[in-house]
Structure 1
Amino acid sequence: MPEIVSNGLTLHYDTFGDSRDPAVLLVMGLGTQMIAWRTEFCESLASLGLHVIRFDNRDVGLSTKIHGAPLPSIPRTLMLRPWGFARSAYTLSDMARDAVGVLDGLSIRAAHVVGVSMGGMIAQTLAIEHRSRTLSLTSVMSSPGDYRLPPPTHAARTMLLRPAPRSREQAIDQVVALFRVIGSPKYFDEARVRERAGESYDRSSYRLGTARQLDAILASRPRSPALRELRIAATIVHGALDPLVPIAHGLATAKAIPGADLHVIDDLAHDLPEPKWPELVRAISRTIERAA
């Protein structure tokens, strides 16, 4: 697997398609490895004449783990964030700089950026703080981080705060339980979830990184004021059934970005089921066409 050194970190990545084609950078969500952007999905995008890049965020997958950083304290961060005093081992801005580092390592001047969940927050931050590097923005089941937006459901919040698993079997069971709560009911496939959870566990398992990423999300300031300043082709995709990042977050993101398209998927929760891949690919493709 190829790797790039950026911000003193080693970031693992993968590409699809011709490097001479327009670049699409895929940014994955909380505690989730780049392989959640399934190969078939990436190939589908690349078949449209796009150079598709996926990578492991810091603290997940095969990228650098931030060993030695202070242990995250979610209650402390939640208590301090309204006053701007929350501190975390790193921020979404740091993670956006990692993404820019991937582009630098591949000698890509600018890319169409697609982010899911936390990846959407990183993509928004990249568009805000690195405007010349961002050709378009597709933010999927994500949030502008405004404090007054509704929280996850109690069941979804409970899933995020469970103790770390002590074995491969327990880890897989936890992922299955998670997607029973946050996944799209119409498309839930336990056998497939188990298979992919096992694949991810065998590639890398590091729950402390997930906690630090969550801390980075919670310590970040709301992005809506800065999103209002963007002049970029943007599409906001959100599931009407999302219990983890309720649809109000998607509506707020679309409202904040001037001219943004809003695409609501009625039977989608907080996952990327295969039957919805063509719809997502079309949304990304239309955003790229608008940017052109």
Structure 2
Amino acid sequence: MTTAAEPTESTAFLPGGVELAYDTFGSPEADPLLLIMGLGGPMTWWDTGLCEQLAEAGFHVIRYDNRDIGHSSPFRSDERITLARLARAFVGLPTPAPYALDDLADDAAALLDHLGIDSAHVWGVSMGGMIAQTLAIRHPDRVRSVCSTMSTTGRRGVGFQHPTLLPALVIKKPGLEGYIERQIKGGRQIGSPGYPEPENEIRQRAIDTWHRGVSAAAVGRQMLAILTQADRTKQLGSLAIPFSVIHGLSDKMVHVSGGRATAEVVPGAEITLIKGMGHDLPRQLWPAFIKVVRRTADRAVTA
């Protein structure tokens, strides 16, 4: 649970009318580190305590809400993203999506423009890892290093999620209590069995997230962007930046094969596999995460 004071939130006005909510930690003179959250997660899922420890490790930390989430621009559309449409994309059938991971990566690059940052280290988790990879491919001059956590390459056959998890991603019960119930259930399904999070902390994060802004339609649109993503295997093989992968051996949302495949194709990539880690960022593992992110960034200095 976050106990430290939250920093002041700001808004970046990007080309095309997209607005991204963001905040920062640490000295602007430190190494810039852009944090990219995953599916349906606002920037506050990067715990304030973790961000402060990253700042103490020498980073100027930037976290933000992806478009369609939290305080960032909602995607204006009356189009429904049904479970049947998600299932069609899940099995690989052609399915149009309102926006793509390319668009989310371009948002990240535009945020750096807004902040006057030429290039940054990037840490992305889950969908955020996919965005980080895409950002490095589409805007290689903007990325100093990448840490891709509990993510995958976009190649079908690796990094898959168990099909029984798909319905759980769609909010069924209305209201705050329904959302809290889903978050608690989801924590049991995909959280780290070796580092279980107390239910009261999951509940409080769910309450905070709900009040920040939760949209079932937005989660569906982001899920469709994930399910229709391109295979980045070939492009990842051309990256020439320090790159690290972190993945839990107990991850049910993105199978560890996704992390392994990513590390195999990126030249010189480092991989850290953690026993008992699922699809979350357990507080007990923060020191290990920070060590990997810092070590990867330092490789950029000496490269």
Same fold (TM over 0.5): yes
Instruction: State the Cα RMSD in Å.
Output: 1.7
Measured after TM superposition, the shift of residue 186 of structure 1 is 2.8
Please state if 1:114 is matched with 2:126.
no
Counterpart contact for 2:172–2:178, Cα < 8 Å = no
Measured after TM superposition, the shift of residue 68 of structure 1 is 1.8
**1:284–1:173: structure 2 CA closer, same or farther, 3 Å change rule?**
same
Letter in 2 for 1:5: F
Match of 1:30, SS state, is coil
**1:87–1:77: structure 2 CA closer, same or farther, 3 Å change rule?**
farther
Matches of residues 281-292 of structure 1 in structure 2 within 5 Å?
281-292=290-301
Mapped partners of 2:106, 2:175: distance in 1: 33
Match of 1:28 in 2: 37
Match of 1:14 in 2: 23
Counterpart contact for 2:32–2:120, Cα < 8 Å = yes
**1:164–1:37: structure 2 CA closer, same or farther, 3 Å change rule?**
same
Counterpart contact for 1:155–1:181, Cα < 8 Å = no
Match of 1:11, SS state, is strand
Counterpart contact for 2:171–2:216, Cα < 8 Å = no
Letter in 2 for 1:181: Q
**1:88–1:154: structure 2 CA closer, same or farther, 3 Å change rule?**
closer
Match of 1:185, SS state, is coil
Match of 2:133, SS state, is helix
Measured after TM superposition, the shift of residue 48 of structure 1 is 1.7
Mapped partners of 1:228, 1:156: distance in 2: 30
Measured after TM superposition, the shift of residue 206 of structure 1 is 1.3
Match of 1:214 in 2: 223
Match of 1:290, SS state, is helix
Please state if 1:278 is matched with 2:283.
no
Query: Tell me, which stretches of 5 or more residues in structure 2 are unaligned?
Result: 1-8
Counterpart contact for 1:88–1:219, Cα < 8 Å = yes
Counterpart contact for 1:231–1:258, Cα < 8 Å = yes
Match of 1:197 in 2: 206
Mapped partners of 2:261, 2:99: distance in 1: 25
Mapped partners of 1:229, 1:220: distance in 2: 18
Question: TM-score w.r.t. structure 1 length?
Answer: 0.95
Match of 1:173 in 2: 181
Match of 1:99, SS state, is helix
Query: Tell me, which stretches of 5 or more residues in structure 1 are unaligned?
Result: none
Letter in 2 for 1:48: A
Question: TM-score w.r.t. structure 2 length?
Answer: 0.92
Mapped partners of 2:255, 2:56: distance in 1: 32
Mapped partners of 1:177, 1:84: distance in 2: 29
Match of 1:186, SS state, is coil
Letter in 2 for 1:192: E
Mapped partners of 2:76, 2:167: distance in 1: 26
Match of 2:132 in 1: 123
Mapped partners of 1:171, 1:81: distance in 2: 24
Mapped partners of 1:247, 1:85: distance in 2: 26
1:127-164 superposed Cα distances (whole Å, 9 cap, x missing partner): 0000000000000000101012263224433322x443
**1:222–1:18: structure 2 CA closer, same or farther, 3 Å change rule?**
same
Counterpart contact for 1:111–1:133, Cα < 8 Å = yes
Identity %: 38
Mapped partners of 1:150, 1:206: distance in 2: 25
1:184-205 superposed Cα distances (whole Å, 9 cap, x missing partner): 1232211111111111111212
Match of 1:59, SS state, is coil
**1:53–1:72: structure 2 CA closer, same or farther, 3 Å change rule?**
same
Measured after TM superposition, the shift of residue 69 of structure 1 is 5.7
**1:58 corresponds to which of 67, 74, 79:** 67
**1:228 corresponds to which of 212, 237, 249:** 237
Match of 1:187, SS state, is coil
Matches of residues 240-279 of structure 1 in structure 2 within 5 Å?
240-279=249-288
Match of 1:263, SS state, is strand
Match of 1:193, SS state, is helix
Aligned residues, how many?
291
Counterpart contact for 1:84–1:221, Cα < 8 Å = no
**1:164 corresponds to which of 168, 172, 190:** 172
